[in-house]
Structure 1
């Protein structure tokens, strides 16, 4: 059974924020460790829960005294940009450059993140991505006052000198294309991003192993991190178990504004952090957990991807779990098999060609959206959760801004479910993206990538879908009107063979027939072969089941 978002929220113990692994002393890696991970998180175990100070730095040096990383727990990083937001503390904020140690990349993902996390009696410190290198010796210094508490009965006064906390990282993995990740057991990496960096370094589209099949196997555990993948084809990321591998982060449009994309440098423009709450720096990396760009044949299977942001009034609450930012006609293929994607608003943002099979997607407002050529949800569950800012609203499942002349979103042999607290007849099947002709949805893409004239189409078809009582009788929100306003066999809002959750024929006589259709022949979308037959200008793509 898929793991519900409400389960994770209520049972906080399911998500342990710190998993430093077994260690003998208060430090992880242990002092003197000669096989530490290059993507390790530093950790200190206190007698009881420590507190985070308001000033001071954590510094890591190579043994020759070269400074390789600095973490500032004060508000200096946030305040240097001139931001004025009042939603959350400006302290304990750093800017990460994801993929920053990958030589082949010319664009990276810049994001704000919280480097110090306290969970129970352990303080975990995430260094900047790629700060540590393999087979290298380091020592750590921590200013007095960064962390407050007792270690082995004595007040913690920081760490100083060149020998108090030392460790050496182990050598590079044996395989350039197949690696494992485990947050607390033997593996090649401790983090998913560490593994992604390794794959991007060896298997990018211009690298030595460009054409090879690549795999990342993630062992059961909780991985609190933002992720970036760029310029890699034929990569499979597989979890040990669907509910046992949880990759998550609390990210949102207020914390990291924008949908996100790779850039050559961090943006400096100040934008609104939410209604009447001041400004936030727009770095460019965006509000999702996983950003995948310029990727083809990316396969995700058997794990949970979760944006842990809790919707709150006054925030900009858009918070994708994944943005698949790949949109070529002859590439840009994503498969998700036996996956959980969980957030609230804007859970999945899709381009290109996407296939979701036996997967679970949860959210409340527009929780599946984007500009794909074709995105098929087959034998999957689309689950509406209670909106934390408007409990009486059932929200919207889709907002399509699909590519003109292609299938867009298709829901096939799947089911629409909801939290028990969702009012009956309160959820819309979709609302329009509001991008109307003559600017949008006017020109079929035949070469290159998507442009404004090629997208904005409200192309969505439900075929043989079981629907809970939370779905509105009218089905589709008609204001603003969809594009096209009148559906056809190949475009617009369409529905065929709808059932209740028990499999009985659903009465759809109350559907808004002005903007949708329940009678159009949709036999051209009955199989994944048909949905993806336009891939690569008619060459077609037939993704295979396990």
Structure 2
């Protein structure tokens, strides 16, 4: 169905009366172009309450500089408004996030995304279940394209959704699940949750910021395999970190549950997937921060709770890719980046995983408290992209504020991109780093031959076999918690 009768057809009828140039001018007007395919549309098949709105045109398009797209209840009540001329509509609450002062925090986000000939609109709120809606759009919202005025043109209905208290939820961006977004499923979980809840995510690319607040522990989010289920967003420090929060009042912007109160004021908001809840598991999917190389600090996954587990997960970004604070366990996973791409506090135990350097830089920066648990890596492989030079990457670095930090590599295989000195200090010297725990045991090259550790940083240390065996046990680092046991 077309929104307007094509004027080119009318011009064809009037060829005797209308000059050719006038016919072409008429054909180039917004109403002359084919109407877009609108999704969701129709009342027969109800859709998720967190559905995106999509317009697919006959060719590539661009957004206008102004104009509004509005969603209305069937009775005409305005539900949501995306205004291209109003920067205020480029913010939203996610996951009911509260600042350290208990006030609602709002993220900057992209409400409208253009991908070739498809325009996707991401609303500020989930819709009500079992309701009918219609959409209107100003002419010029999409540059050179007609608007939508008739309430009958773009109507749809939402599904009823899962029963309250459901402990197994499904997410499918194609519309075959309880929700279309991961965040929609997280939001459905009740506050102060005490039951195990599993969220299964179908294959696909889920372009969204996900946030799990402290009030929703005991969640498992599982995909259909890393590479098949991908959650990603171009979130970063410029969009939602220190730079973006500079003019936002502290009561709305200070991070909750801060481990390091001063450095962590704003940096909790810049991850593609952030968790402040305890007892959280992530399985069989990829988390990808889509921020390009050089686009500032940009965590793919940030875990800031107790007993967080990542299993068979790929974590992709450039700077600060994986940040874990509190007790965490990572197994059979893949992490890539260039600068401090594994960082945080501790204790964090990583086993049977690959850490891939995309450029010269640093694998870790662990800022644990004095004598507190840091990060232990066991049976890991440290690999590199083909362009990464030999000797250009350090296993870890730390600055003078955190000279009690702990990083341990045990029986790990390393390519030649790891520098002979292995470790680095910033604004500090080994003479003042007597509490530093940069430890290593059994390091080999990728062929299994021992690495020459004779040039390692003087205040690093090689563990003996008995010491290494003790640290191979996750319970040593994780204060008695062994996530390998049921």
TM-score tier by shorter-chain length is: 0.7 to 0.9
Q: Secondary structure at the match of 1:481?
A: coil
Aligned partners of 1:136 and 1:523: how far apart in 2? 60
> Which residue of the partner structure matches residue 457 of structure 1?
404
Of 463, 469, 475, 1:529 maps to: 475
Aligned partners of 2:266 and 2:278: how far apart in 1? 26
Aligned partners of 1:337 and 1:485: how far apart in 2? 38
1:219 to 2:192 alignment: no
1:36 to 2:66 alignment: no
Q: Secondary structure at the match of 1:54?
A: coil
Of 82, 87, 99, 1:77 maps to: 87
User: Unmatched 5+ residue regions in structure 2?
Assistant: 1-34, 255-264
Report the CA distance between 1:172 and its aligned residue. 2.1
Q: Secondary structure at the match of 1:523?
A: helix
Of 225, 228, 233, 1:244 maps to: 228
Conservation of the 8 A alpha-carbon contact between 2:42 and 2:157: no
Conservation of the 8 A alpha-carbon contact between 1:110 and 1:283: no
Distance verdict in 2 for CA 1:511–1:381, change over 3 Å: same
Distance verdict in 2 for CA 1:284–1:512, change over 3 Å: closer
Distance verdict in 2 for CA 1:107–1:227, change over 3 Å: farther
> Which residue of the partner structure matches residue 543 of structure 1?
483
Of 377, 381, 387, 2:350 maps to: 377
Conservation of the 8 A alpha-carbon contact between 1:176 and 1:198: no
1:337 to 2:311 alignment: yes
Of 425, 441, 449, 1:504 maps to: 449
> Which residue of the partner structure matches residue 415 of structure 2?
468
Length-normalised TM-score, structure 1: 0.74
Distance verdict in 2 for CA 1:307–1:376, change over 3 Å: same
> Which residue of the partner structure matches residue 19 of structure 1?
none
Report the CA distance between 1:220 and its aligned residue. 0.3
1:231-380 pair list within 5 angstroms: 231-258=215-242, 266-267=252-253, 286-293=269-276, 295-312=277-294, 317-326=296-305, 332-372=306-346, 374-380=347-353
Q: Secondary structure at the match of 2:484?
A: coil
1:392-471 pair list within 5 angstroms: 394-436=360-402, 457-471=404-418
Report the CA distance between 1:266 and its aligned residue. 4.5
Structure ID, larger Rg:
2
Aligned partners of 1:160 and 1:248: how far apart in 2? 34
Aligned partners of 2:54 and 2:401: how far apart in 1? 49
Aligned partners of 1:215 and 1:119: how far apart in 2? 31
Conservation of the 8 A alpha-carbon contact between 2:173 and 2:181: yes
Conservation of the 8 A alpha-carbon contact between 2:369 and 2:405: no
Distance verdict in 2 for CA 1:265–1:171, change over 3 Å: farther
Conservation of the 8 A alpha-carbon contact between 1:228 and 1:290: yes
Conservation of the 8 A alpha-carbon contact between 1:466 and 1:501: yes
1:21-32 pair list within 5 angstroms: 26-32=37-43
1:78-97 pair list within 5 angstroms: 94-97=90-93
> Which residue of the partner structure matches residue 155 of structure 2?
166
Conservation of the 8 A alpha-carbon contact between 2:50 and 2:179: yes
Aligned partners of 2:252 and 2:229: how far apart in 1? 31
1:116 to 2:124 alignment: no
Aligned length: 434
> Which residue of the partner structure matches residue 450 of structure 1?
none
1:141 to 2:87 alignment: no
User: Unmatched 5+ residue regions in structure 1?
Assistant: 1-23, 79-92, 150-155, 269-281, 327-331, 387-393, 437-455, 535-539
Conservation of the 8 A alpha-carbon contact between 1:56 and 1:144: yes
Report the CA distance between 1:480 and its aligned residue. 2.8
Report the CA distance between 1:311 and its aligned residue. 2.4
Conservation of the 8 A alpha-carbon contact between 1:242 and 1:339: yes
Q: Give the aligned CA root-mean-square deviation in angstroms.
A: 2.8
Q: Which has the higher contact order (CA 8 A, sep 6+)?
A: 1
Aligned partners of 1:69 and 1:483: how far apart in 2? 58
Aligned partners of 1:241 and 1:107: how far apart in 2? 37
Distance verdict in 2 for CA 1:65–1:267, change over 3 Å: farther
Cα displacement string for residues 207-247 of structure 1 (whole angstroms, at most 9, x for unaligned residues):
xxx32111000000000000110122221111012110111
1:50 to 2:61 alignment: yes
Aligned partners of 2:485 and 2:175: how far apart in 1? 31
Distance verdict in 2 for CA 1:172–1:487, change over 3 Å: same
Cα displacement string for residues 402-431 of structure 1 (whole angstroms, at most 9, x for unaligned residues):
133333110111111111110001101111
Report the CA distance between 1:487 and its aligned residue. 5.7
Conservation of the 8 A alpha-carbon contact between 1:352 and 1:371: yes
Q: Secondary structure at the match of 2:87?
A: helix
